[in-house]
Amino acid sequence: MADAGDKMKQMINIVVKTFYGLEEALQEELAELGYKETQKLNRAVGLKGTWKDVYFLNLHARCALSVLVELHTFQLKTEDDLYKEASKVNWPELFDVNKTFAIKGAVNSSLFKHSQFPFLLVKDAIADSFRKETGKRPDVSVKTPQLVVDLYVREKEGVLSINTSGLPLFHRGYRQSTGEAPLNEVVAAGLLRLSGWDRKSPFVDPFCGSGTLLIEAALLATGIPSNIERTHYAFKNLKNFDAAVWDELYNSVQRVVKELPCTITGSDIDPDMVMKARRNLRGFSFGRFIEVNVESFEKARVPEGPGVLICNPPYGERLEVNASELYSAIGDFFKQTMKGYDCWVISSSEAGFKSLGLRPDRKIKLYNGDLECSFRKFSVYDGTKKLHKLEG
Ligand X SMILES: C[S@@+](CC[C@H](N)C(=O)[O-])C[C@H]1O[C@@H](n2cnc3c(N)ncnc32)[C@H](O)[C@@H]1O
66 binds ligand X (CB under 6 A): no
182 binds ligand X (CB under 6 A): yes
Which of residues 265 and 312 has its CB atom nearest to ligand X in the complex?
312
Alpha carbons 197 and 219: distance in angstroms, whole number: 13
Nearest CA among 159, 164, 136 for reference residue 148: 164
Residues 303-322 that bind ligand X (CB under 6 A): 312-314
What is the nearest approach in angstroms of ligand X to the Cβ of residue 269? 4
Selected range binding ligand X among 34-42, 114-122, 269-277, 357-365, rule: CB under 6 A: 269-277
275 binds ligand X (CB under 6 A): no
Which of residues 207 and 246 has its CB atom nearest to ligand X in the complex?
207
Which of residues 248 and 272 has its CB atom nearest to ligand X in the complex?
272
Selected range binding ligand X among 82-90, 99-107, 206-214, 223-231, rule: CB under 6 A: 206-214
371 binds ligand X (CB under 6 A): no
Q: Which residues pair with 264 in a beta bridge?
A: 203
Print burial letters for 240-274: b (CB count within 10 Å at least 16), e (below 16): ebbeebbeebbeeeeeebeebebbbbbbbbeeebb
Alpha carbons 115 and 42: distance in angstroms, whole number: 21
Which of residues 183 and 217 has its CB atom nearest to ligand X in the complex?
183
Which of residues 55 and 297 has its CB atom nearest to ligand X in the complex?
297
What is the nearest approach in angstroms of ligand X to the Cβ of residue 358? 18
Nearest CA among 151, 165, 12 for reference residue 74: 151
Selected range binding ligand X among 17-25, 209-217, 250-258, 337-345, rule: CB under 6 A: 209-217
What is the nearest approach in angstroms of ligand X to the Cβ of residue 187? 9
183 binds ligand X (CB under 6 A): yes
Count of residues near ligand X by CB under 6 A = 20
Which of residues 94 and 311 has its CB atom nearest to ligand X in the complex?
311
181 binds ligand X (CB under 6 A): yes
What is the nearest approach in angstroms of ligand X to the Cβ of residue 322? 12
352 binds ligand X (CB under 6 A): no
What is the nearest approach in angstroms of ligand X to the Cβ of residue 21? 17
Classify the C-alpha dihedral 110-123-52-165 as positive or negative.
Answer: positive
Are 158 and 76 within 8 A, CB to CB? Answer: yes
166 binds ligand X (CB under 6 A): no
Are 72 and 150 within 8 A, CB to CB? Answer: no
Which of residues 118 and 179 has its CB atom nearest to ligand X in the complex?
179
Which of residues 77 and 318 has its CB atom nearest to ligand X in the complex?
318
Which of residues 119 and 334 has its CB atom nearest to ligand X in the complex?
334
Nearest CA among 78, 143, 132, 139 for reference residue 104: 143
Alpha carbons 218 and 179: distance in angstroms, whole number: 20
Q: Which of 91, 197, 203, 207 binds ligand X (CB under 6 A)?
A: 207
Selected range binding ligand X among 25-33, 88-96, 127-135, 201-209, rule: CB under 6 A: 201-209
Which of residues 161 and 312 has its CB atom nearest to ligand X in the complex?
312
CA 157 to chain centre: 27
Nearest CA among 190, 183, 186, 182 for reference residue 172: 186
Q: Which of 45, 273, 292, 338 binds ligand X (CB under 6 A)?
A: 273
Residues near ligand X (CB under 6 A) are: 178-179, 181-183, 206-207, 209-210, 212-213, 268-270, 273, 296-297, 312-314
